[in-house]
Amino acid sequence: MWLRPLYLTTFYYLLMRVLLFATALLAAELGWATPGFAQTTTAAAVPAATWSSSLEAAMQQAKATNRPVLAIFSGSDWCKPCIMLKQEVFDKPAFEQFARDKFVLAHFDFPRSKKNKLSADQTRQNELAASKLNQEGSFPLVVLISPEGKILAKTGYRPGGEAAYEAHLTSLLTRK
């Protein structure tokens, strides 16, 4: 009878564990897992927050709903802090839930890559918003604007994730 050397047995064992782990991750990512396994379910689907791409439309909505505007200026394909802010805060479902009833959301992007080029109309709207709110050319820039059009606060990227950023925005609103 032929015996495998110990290092081959250990190698196969580790390989099997890696493959099982990768399969479990893939199953969870594709939604194949049962609710009790690496996946959580929610009671009801939460509609996504809508981001306006027009400052004028956002201000009209702010007046109609009596909520401040949260305007974001970003460079989505070249500004590392912009990308981090989006991933750590704005892409999170908890932030969408937080912002839905508190803010009118507006996003003005300034990509540099040709593949992300905006339409001429959108570029014009973004530049118009920047001429009013971001004359310094800061990225990322988050501007809180009252429904009457007064700038309440300006801020940027802050580490700490979505909960810390929500607390920061709340403190900016209560200061003014």
Q: Write out pLDDT tens, residues 114-143.
A: 999 999 999 999 999 999 999 999 999 999
For residues 164-173, b (16+ Cβ closer than 10 Å) or e, as one string? ebbebbeebb
Q: Could you tell me the CATH number of the domain that includes residue 130?
A: 3.40.30.10
Highest mean pLDDT among 5-9, 25-29, 158-162: 158-162
Would you say residue 145 lies in a domain? yes
Domains of the chain: total = 1
Q: What is the pTM of this model?
A: 0.71
The pLDDT value given to residue 124: 96
Residue 17 lies in a domain: no
Average pLDDT, the chain: 85
Peptide bond connecting 68 to the previous residue in cis, omega within 30 degrees of 0: no
> Domain for residue 27, yes or no?
no
Say which range, 11-20, 89-98, 105-114, has the weakest mean pLDDT.
Answer: 11-20
Residue 75 is assigned to a structural domain of this protein:
yes
- The CA-atom distances, in angstroms, between 151 and each of 15, 88, 161 are 58, 25, 24
**For 92, which DSSP code?**
S
Q: In this structure, is residue 150 part of a structural domain?
A: yes
Within a domain: 132: yes
Does residue 26 lie within any of the structural domains? no
Q: Is residue 30 part of a domain?
A: no
Kindly tell me if the per-residue pLDDT of 43 is higher than 70.
Answer: no
Structural contact between residues 78 and 72, judged by C-beta atoms closer than 8 angstroms:
no
Tokens of residue 40, six digits: 């959580």
Print the domain residue range for 135.
Answer: 51-175
